[in-house]
Amino acid sequence: MDVRQVSYFLAVAEHGGFSRAASALDVAQPTLSQSVRALERELGTELFHRVPHGLVLSYAGRAFVGPARQMLRGITAAREAVGSHARATPALDLVAVPVLAAYPGASLVGSFRRENPHIVVHIDEPETDDGLHILVRDGHSELGLTHLPLPHLGLHVVELGVQELWLAFPPGTDVGPGDAVPLARLHGADVLGVPRGNWQRDDVERALRDQGVRTRLVVEVAHPEALAPLVLGGAGAAFLVRETAHSAASLGAVVRPVDPPLRQAYGLVHRPGPLSPAARAFVAHARARCRAGR
């Protein structure tokens, strides 16, 4: 097994096929295919299933993604240590829960890339918010952007800030006097939401239970980013991240903070031990940006 074989395997996995990966790497497709087949022979198992419309990762292939990424990160760090890192293209592997990927993730990655245009960023999304910690622990991603506190998985935590949820109502809704909306006022109300296992749903339901409030979920969507358009379309009220709520307000939604406030800390997590140069730079950048924004 060599570095080229591992990097070719990851390229095929990330691009979903040999032709797209070959184009991205600027190598001949037969060369790429032969290298991956040689890697499969060395490992003694198929990493991809060849299907009529392309490739899908096999069970072994999915299991190999994390160790392969760790291997390349380790090699990049080793090259840096001996002064030859300029020959490698640095990469940052980041997994983020969707609501944090939108804010502050998008602005953090954008400003980081402006300062570090030579670093390639790979962003993954966990199937559930809780699944993020497993992806980081098992090495699929070097850094995770997640809500805190964490389960006890032995990960190192870098606190960055606090995210707050506001209520957004369809345009023209009369929410009554005052600034903040008491949660008690929502008793019996129709609301929009996301599936259980998502921080946004779990935190809201916990707060409502504490207040003895029951609501009726009338629309459930898989992704939090779909909530604001549904509110604007008149489907009902929803809890949105404050920054998303402000954007919805500019389009006509009626938005208010809630009483008591719904706030959750967030930060970056990674495995114990030294980080790759790209991850180390991103952690420092995120700390500085979030500290400046407070």
* CATH code of 53's domain: 1.10.10.10
Residue type, position 203, single letter: D
**Cis bond leading into 229, ω under 30°?**
no
Considering the domain boundaries, does residue 56 fall inside one? yes
> Final residue of a domain: which of 49, 83, 117?
83
Which structural domain, as residue segments, surrounds residue 68?
1-83
Q: Which is it for the CA torsion 113, 92, 263, 234, positive or negative?
A: positive
Is position 153 within any domain?
no
C-beta of residue 253 within 8 angstroms of C-beta of residue 171:
yes
Of 83, 116, 136, the position where a domain reaches its end is 83
Mean pLDDT over each residue of the chain, to the nearest integer: 88
Please give the model's pTM, rounded to 2 decimal places: 0.69
Residue 291 included in any domain: no
pLDDT in tens, 280-293: 999 999 999 998 77
Q: Pick the more confident residue, 197 or 193.
A: 193
Helix/strand/coil percent split, the chain, to 5: 45, 25, 30
In a domain, residue 281? The reply is: no
Q: Is the peptide bond before 149 cis (omega within 30 degrees of 0)?
A: yes
Query: What is the β-pairing status of strands 54-57 and 48-51?
Result: antiparallel
How many domains is the chain built from? 2
The CATH number of whichever domain residue 247 belongs to comes to: 3.40.190.290
Does residue 269 form part of some domain?
Answer: no
Q: CA–CA distance from 160 to each of 1, 70, 283, 294 (Å)? A: 39, 25, 10, 10
Residue pair 96/143 in contact (Cβ under 8 Å)? The answer is no
* Percentage of the chain modeled with pLDDT above 90: 48
3-class SS at 118?
Answer: coil
Residue 143 domain flag: no
pLDDT at 156: 93
Tell me the sheet residues that pair with 263.
Answer: 164
Domain boundary among 56, 83, 110: 83
